[in-house]
Amino acid sequence: MSIKLIRENWWFRFADDKKTNDKNCKSYIIDNNLQDAFILAKDKPKWKDKYLKEYNAVINETHFKRLCKTDLHLYEILIHTIRCMYFDIDCYKKRPITEEKFVVVVDRLIELINNELDVVLSYDDFAIKINDDYETDGVKSFHLICKKYCMDINHLWNLVKIINDTYKSTYIDEFNEDLECKLKDDLLDDAVYSKDRLMRCLGQSKREAKDKNENGYKFVLYNKLCKVPKLFRDTIIRNNKKALQITYDKKYDKKLCIKNEIENDTSFNKKLITISIDKNSFMNGFKKLDERFWDTTNNWTCATRIIKKLDLLPMDEWNTFSIEMGTRDYDYDTNAEFIDTMDITLINSGYKKLTEVLNKCSNEFMFCFEYDKYFFMREQLVKYITHHNINIVIPLLLDTKKSIVLTDDYEINYAIGFITDKSQQRRLPNNHNKVNFGTDLTLTDTQNITLYPTINIDNIEEI
């Protein structure tokens, strides 16, 4: 039996083609009342150093399963707002954990989900997708899908953000040995709860990894924990018809979480110290740290990598300052050589990770950095348009809560780092109408990073 596709001529783009008047995949499905179809994406061969996606759909689960028997680099596209509960754990990609540790993490995660939702879930309620080389290379990434319950994606996002904070405060030692800052800041990826999200299917790998001869692992089912083995259909997030919908009313508020962490600490009352990125404030904040920061290799090394990465302080000054603050007999030249050879490309985080390191190293104070992401992104935008010689007049960033700015028929989105040419005249690099200036940092000058005037910490919003 052949696989029945919505478009028999196979994959096509997920955007309206005005020249040919061909409708996109989503429009076709809506017009033909095919909302129950499974929309899929696959990696397209590289074009101009970029990996693109092409799209199609199958009308039932049987054809979906048959399609995934071959590694076509397929993704399930989630277009519905109500979805089966799913959790994406990829913080271990650059520092794989053992299978034994993986089971511990799964146990902790299920316990936190039960506590937050006031439900009783066990191994048997989850299908677990895991990298196929976990027995030899360790566990790098895994997904948990629960078909028993479904939730609105906004509720799921709030749940995941709160679980991430609870996990870090409950299992403090989880990231303590992360000497090279390889781990991401959070256990769960909170970016996967959005419109038209792509989730890699069972048995599929990434084409980019294959083309680069990298270890492009596939996802396989991990059935060692459950009594009844899970099947392919248990991994489909889209299929939520038999799931009971849960409402989660809690709202995630980062500032409130910090406030509650300070106020609810029964062992001691910590004072909140706000550090700005000017030199005096920066060094005065670090002076309030306990000796265990300066004399514990893990904490100091992790912080030094981030300070070097973000160019927060000249390394010669940081070296001298560290020796002055430490209680051991440190040698300047030995330290300087160690700092000079640090591989800062291993870092997956910045201020957030640095704040966590500082807060581990003080019994008296709680630290936070006073900065705003939009100011940083505006600086990246200035560098980007200067490098590419784009004729855009960038307005002053007067409203720090406004992420989208319109100017000269361009839309600038500081929250996600995109410029969009609203005139559709392809005036952006490579004749595009939309480019991501936020990730194109390799093309910009990283020397002499400008330090911005600081703002009140109350003005910072979670992005």
CB 81 within 8 A of CB 31: no
CB 374 within 8 A of CB 280: no
CB 167 within 8 A of CB 187: yes
CATH number at residue 206: 3.30.70
Residues 395 and 348 in one domain: no
Eight-class DSSP state of 234: G
Which whole-number Å values give the CA distances from 222 to 62, 93, 113, 175, 340, in the listed order?
A: 21, 17, 20, 25, 43
According to the model, what pLDDT value does residue 267 have? Answer: 46
Is the pTM for the entire model greater than 0.85?
no
Q: Note the residue count of the chain.
A: 463
According to the model, what pLDDT value does residue 453 have? Answer: 32
User: Which two three-digit tokens encode residue 10?
Assistant: 């196979």
Q: Tell me if residue 186 falls in helix, strand or coil.
A: coil
Q: How far is residue 150's CA from residue 239's CA, in Å, rounded to a whole number?
A: 10
According to the model, what pLDDT value does residue 222 have? Answer: 97
According to the model, what pLDDT value does residue 450 have? Answer: 33
Residues 120 and 201 in one domain: yes
Residues 204 and 338 in one domain: no
Residues 168 and 108 in one domain: yes
Residues 62 and 104 in one domain: no
According to the model, what pLDDT value does residue 215 have? Answer: 63
Overall domain count for the chain: 4
Sign of CA dihedral 327, 331, 332, 334: negative
Residues 58 and 136 in one domain: no
Tell whether 1 is covered by a domain.
Answer: yes
**Which positions ≥6 away from 248 have C-beta within 8 Å?**
116, 117, 151, 155, 156, 158, 159
The residue from 345, 369, 393 where one domain ends is: 369
Residue with tokens 């406004």: 402
**Which positions ≥6 away from 159 have C-beta within 8 Å?**
113, 116, 117, 151, 248, 250
pLDDT tens, residue order, the chain (463 aa):
566 666 555 555 544 334 444 455 566 666 766 667 888 888 877 666 677 778 888 888 888 999 899 988 899 988 888 999 999 998 888 889 999 999 999 999 999 999 999 999 999 999 999 999 999 999 999 999 999 999 999 999 999 999 998 898 788 777 666 655 556 668 899 889 987 788 999 999 988 766 665 567 999 999 999 999 999 999 999 878 889 999 999 988 766 665 555 555 544 467 778 787 678 888 888 999 988 888 877 788 888 988 888 888 899 999 999 999 988 888 899 999 999 988 777 655 577 778 878 888 888 888 877 665 566 677 778 778 888 888 887 776 555 556 788 877 888 887 778 889 888 888 888 888 888 876 544 333 333 333 323 333 333 333 2
The residue from 43, 67, 91 where one domain ends is: 67
Tell whether 30 is covered by a domain.
Answer: yes
According to the model, what pLDDT value does residue 196 have? Answer: 77
According to the model, what pLDDT value does residue 30 have? Answer: 66
List b or e across 108-143, with b for residues whose CB sees 16 or more CB atoms inside 10 angstroms. Answer: bbbebbeebbeeebebebbbbbbbbebeeebbbbbb
CB 443 within 8 A of CB 382: no
Residues 145 and 222 in one domain: yes
Tell whether 75 is covered by a domain.
Answer: no
User: Which two three-digit tokens encode residue 407?
Assistant: 């100017």
Tell whether 74 is covered by a domain.
Answer: no
Tell whether 153 is covered by a domain.
Answer: yes
CB 313 within 8 A of CB 306: no
Residues 121 and 203 in one domain: yes
Residue 222: Cβ within 10 Å count: 25
Residues 233 and 181 in one domain: yes
According to the model, what pLDDT value does residue 343 have? Answer: 79
Q: How far is residue 83's CA from residue 236's CA, in Å, rounded to a whole number?
A: 10
pLDDT digits (tens, 9 = 90+) for 20-29: 444 555 666 6
Residues 99 and 237 in one domain: yes
Tell whether 72 is covered by a domain.
Answer: no
pLDDT digits (tens, 9 = 90+) for 87-129: 999 888 888 999 999 999 999 999 999 999 999 999 999 999 9
Range of the domain at 150: 81-245
Q: Maximum Cα–Cα distance for the chain, whole Å?
A: 75
Eight-class DSSP state of 333: H
Q: Name the CA dihedral angle for 384, 388, 390, 392, rounded to a multiple of 10 degrees.
A: 10
Residues 114 and 241 in one domain: yes
Tell whether 382 is covered by a domain.
Answer: yes
The residue from 245, 266, 285 where one domain ends is: 245
Residue 212: Cβ within 10 Å count: 11
CB 199 within 8 A of CB 76: yes
At position 427, the amino acid (one-letter code) is: R
Residues 307 and 409 in one domain: no
